[in-house]
Structure 1
Amino acid sequence: MSGVDRDTMRIISAELPVNATLHLWLKAVRPGIPGSVSLVSANGKFGEVQAVNAEEHSFRIYQVFGGGRIELQYDSQITSVSVAYWFTASDVLETGITVLHTNPANAPPELAGGYHFRPPFGWMNDPNGFGRFGGRPHLFYQHYSHGRTWNNMHWGHAVSSDYLRWRHLPVFLFPSEELSARPDKRGGAFSGSAIPLTSGPGIRVFFTEKVSERIPEQEIQMSATSADLFSAGEASVILPHRPAGEGLTFDFRDPYVFKGPDGRWKMLLGSQSHAGGVILLYETEDPQAAGGWTYIGKLHVETRYTTTALECPCLLPLDGEPTHPSTRWALIYGLMNAVDERTGRKNLTMADVGWFDGRTFSKEFGRELDFITDNYAFQAFADGTTPVGIGWMGNWADTGPTIEFPSAMTLPRTLRLEDGQLLTPPLGAAESLRSHILDRTRLVNGERVDFPSGAVEILFEVAEPGLSFELALEHPSIGLALVQDETGLVLRYERPGQPSPHYIAEAARVSRLRVFLDYGSIEVFADDGRIAGTKRIDGFDPVRSARLTAPSGGLRSATIWALRL
Structure 2
Amino acid sequence: MTQPDWAVVTASPVAGEYFPYVDTDYQEANRGQFHFSSRSGWMNDPNGLLYYRGTYHLYYQHNPYGLAWDTMHWGHATSPDLIHWRQQPIALDPRIHPGDLWSGGGVVDTRDTSGLKDGSHDPIVVFSGTQGVRMLYSLDGGSTFTAYDDGRVVAQPSGTESRDPKVCWHEQSGRWVMVVWSDAGGNGVDFFVSADLRDWERVSRFAAGWLFECPDFTPMALDGDVTYVLRDARGSYLVGDFDGREFRTSWSEPCTITRNTGGAGSDYYAAQSFENLPDDRVVTLAWQGGNRGSIWTGNASFPVQQRLVSTPDGPRLFSEPIDEIRLLRSSTTKWGPVELSPDTARDLLSAEAADTYELEATFDLSASQATAFSFRLGTATDARSVRYDLGSAQLDGYDLPVAPDGTLSLRLLVDRGQLDIFATDGAFYECLNVDFEGAGHGLQLVTDGPLMLKSLTLHQLGSIWDDGLPA
Asked if Structure 1 and Structure 2 have the same fold, meaning a TM-score greater than 0.5 normalized by the shorter chain, the answer is yes
Task: Give a deviation string over 1:107-148, Cα, whole Å, max 9, x none.
Answer: 983678811112122111111111111232211111111122
Give, in angstroms, the shift of residue 539 of structure 1.
6.9
Give, in angstroms, the shift of residue 410 of structure 1.
1.2
**What letter is aligned with 2:269?**
Y
Question: Relative to structure 1, is the Cα distance of residues 405 and 349 closer, same or farther in structure 2, using a 3 angstrom cutoff?
Answer: farther
Given that 1:192 and 1:256 are in contact with CA atoms closer than 8 Å, whether structure 2 keeps it comes out as: yes
Aligned to 1:38: none
Task: Give a deviation string over 1:258-283, Cα, whole Å, max 9, x none.
Answer: 11231111101112344x42121111
Give, in angstroms, the shift of residue 350 of structure 1.
1.4
- Does residue 136 of structure 2 align to residue 224 of structure 1? yes
Q: What is the alpha-carbon distance in structure 1 between the residues aligned to residue 178 and residue 15 of structure 2?
A: 34
Give, in angstroms, the shift of residue 464 of structure 1.
4.1
Given that 1:457 and 1:563 are in contact with CA atoms closer than 8 Å, whether structure 2 keeps it comes out as: yes
Question: Relative to structure 1, is the Cα distance of residues 123 and 317 closer, same or farther in structure 2, using a 3 angstrom cutoff?
Answer: same
Instruction: From 168, 173, 177, give the equivalent of 2:92.
Output: 173
Larger strand proportion of the pair: 1
Question: Relative to structure 1, is the Cα distance of residues 234 and 465 closer, same or farther in structure 2, using a 3 angstrom cutoff?
Answer: farther
Question: Relative to structure 1, is the Cα distance of residues 443 and 242 closer, same or farther in structure 2, using a 3 angstrom cutoff?
Answer: farther
List alignment gaps of at least 5 residues for structure 2: 262-266, 464-471
Matches within 5 A, 1:230-269: 230-235=143-148, 236-237=150-151, 239=153, 242-244=156-158, 248-250=159-161, 252-260=162-170, 261-269=172-180
Greater relative CO (CA pairs within 8 A, separation 6+): 2
- Does residue 189 of structure 2 align to residue 270 of structure 1? no
Instruction: From 297, 306, 315, give the equivalent of 2:204.
Output: 297
Given that 2:30 and 2:435 are in contact with CA atoms closer than 8 Å, whether structure 1 keeps it comes out as: no
Question: Relative to structure 1, is the Cα distance of residues 407 and 233 closer, same or farther in structure 2, using a 3 angstrom cutoff?
Answer: same
Q: What is the alpha-carbon distance in structure 2 between the residues aligned to residue 369 and residue 61 of structure 1?
A: 37
Instruction: From 374, 378, 390, give the equivalent of 1:470.
Output: 374
- Does residue 453 of structure 2 align to residue 555 of structure 1? yes
Q: What is the alpha-carbon distance in structure 1 between the residues aligned to residue 147 and residue 423 of structure 2?
A: 45
- Normalising by structure 2, we get a TM-score of 0.77
Q: Which moved more, 1:234-243 or 1:138-147?
A: 234-243
Question: Relative to structure 1, is the Cα distance of residues 150 and 549 closer, same or farther in structure 2, using a 3 angstrom cutoff?
Answer: same
Aligned to 2:306: 415
- Does residue 64 of structure 2 align to residue 145 of structure 1? yes
Give, in angstroms, the shift of residue 372 of structure 1.
2.2
Task: Give a deviation string over 1:35-72, Cα, whole Å, max 9, x none.
Answer: xxxxxxxxxxxxxxxx4xxxxxx636899xxxxxxxxx
Q: What is the alpha-carbon distance in structure 1 between the residues aligned to residue 401 and residue 296 of structure 2?
A: 32
Instruction: From 277, 286, 289, give the equivalent of 1:392.
Output: 286
Q: What is the alpha-carbon distance in structure 1 between the residues aligned to residue 287 and residue 360 of structure 2?
A: 22
Given that 1:24 and 1:60 are in contact with CA atoms closer than 8 Å, whether structure 2 keeps it comes out as: no
For the residue of structure 2 that corresponds to 1:190, the secondary structure is: coil
Q: What is the alpha-carbon distance in structure 1 between the residues aligned to residue 105 and residue 438 of structure 2?
A: 34
For the residue of structure 2 that corresponds to 1:257, the secondary structure is: strand
Given that 1:466 and 1:509 are in contact with CA atoms closer than 8 Å, whether structure 2 keeps it comes out as: no
**What letter is aligned with 2:257?**
L
Question: Relative to structure 1, is the Cα distance of residues 146 and 430 closer, same or farther in structure 2, using a 3 angstrom cutoff?
Answer: same
Aligned to 2:258: 370
Aligned to 2:409: 512
Question: Relative to structure 1, is the Cα distance of residues 317 and 170 closer, same or farther in structure 2, using a 3 angstrom cutoff?
Answer: same
Matches within 5 A, 1:189-204: 189-197=101-109, 198-199=111-112, 200=117, 201-204=121-124
Give, in angstroms, the shift of residue 438 of structure 1.
4.9
Question: Relative to structure 1, is the Cα distance of residues 108 and 454 closer, same or farther in structure 2, using a 3 angstrom cutoff?
Answer: closer
Given that 2:74 and 2:101 are in contact with CA atoms closer than 8 Å, whether structure 1 keeps it comes out as: yes
Aligned to 1:95: none
Given that 1:443 and 1:558 are in contact with CA atoms closer than 8 Å, whether structure 2 keeps it comes out as: no
**What letter is aligned with 1:371?**
R
Task: Give a deviation string over 1:431-476, Cα, whole Å, max 9, x none.
Answer: 2221112563699641253653521111111214897432222376
Given that 1:205 and 1:225 are in contact with CA atoms closer than 8 Å, whether structure 2 keeps it comes out as: yes
Question: Relative to structure 1, is the Cα distance of residues 171 and 536 closer, same or farther in structure 2, using a 3 angstrom cutoff?
Answer: same
Q: What is the alpha-carbon distance in structure 2 between the residues aligned to residue 295 and residue 62 of structure 1?
A: 33
Task: Give a deviation string over 1:489-536, Cα, whole Å, max 9, x none.
Answer: 343xxxxxxxxxxxx433443611110000101001111211111001
Q: In terms of Rg, which structure is larger? A: 1
Aligned to 1:429: 324
Aligned to 2:77: 158
Instruction: From 421, 432, 439, give the equivalent of 1:524.
Output: 421
Matches within 5 A, 1:470-509: 470-474=374-378, 480-485=384-389, 486-491=391-396, 504-509=397-402
Given that 1:521 and 1:536 are in contact with CA atoms closer than 8 Å, whether structure 2 keeps it comes out as: yes
Q: What is the alpha-carbon distance in structure 2 between the residues aligned to residue 159 and residue 191 of structure 1?
A: 18
Given that 2:41 and 2:295 are in contact with CA atoms closer than 8 Å, whether structure 1 keeps it comes out as: no
Given that 1:25 and 1:60 are in contact with CA atoms closer than 8 Å, whether structure 2 keeps it comes out as: no
Q: What is the alpha-carbon distance in structure 1 between the residues aligned to residue 183 and residue 295 of structure 2?
A: 29
Task: Give a deviation string over 1:183-209, Cα, whole Å, max 9, x none.
Answer: xxxx94111111113334234333333
Instruction: From 439, 443, 448, give the equivalent of 1:546.
Output: 443
Q: What is the alpha-carbon distance in structure 1 between the residues aligned to residue 366 and residue 431 of structure 2?
A: 21
Question: Relative to structure 1, is the Cα distance of residues 312 and 178 closer, same or farther in structure 2, using a 3 angstrom cutoff?
Answer: closer
Given that 1:24 and 1:59 are in contact with CA atoms closer than 8 Å, whether structure 2 keeps it comes out as: no
For the residue of structure 1 that corresponds to 2:324, the secondary structure is: helix
Given that 1:283 and 1:296 are in contact with CA atoms closer than 8 Å, whether structure 2 keeps it comes out as: yes
- Does residue 235 of structure 2 align to residue 349 of structure 1? yes
Question: Relative to structure 1, is the Cα distance of residues 558 and 202 closer, same or farther in structure 2, using a 3 angstrom cutoff?
Answer: same
Aligned to 1:208: 128
Question: Relative to structure 1, is the Cα distance of residues 139 and 243 closer, same or farther in structure 2, using a 3 angstrom cutoff?
Answer: closer
Task: Give a deviation string over 1:416-435, Cα, whole Å, max 9, x none.
Answer: 13344422111111122211
Matches within 5 A, 1:58-137: 59=13, 101=22, 109=28, 114-137=33-56
For the residue of structure 1 that corresponds to 2:147, the secondary structure is: coil
- Normalising by structure 1, we get a TM-score of 0.65
Aligned length: 420
Aligned to 1:19: none
Q: What is the alpha-carbon distance in structure 2 between the residues aligned to residue 478 and residue 488 of structure 1?
A: 24
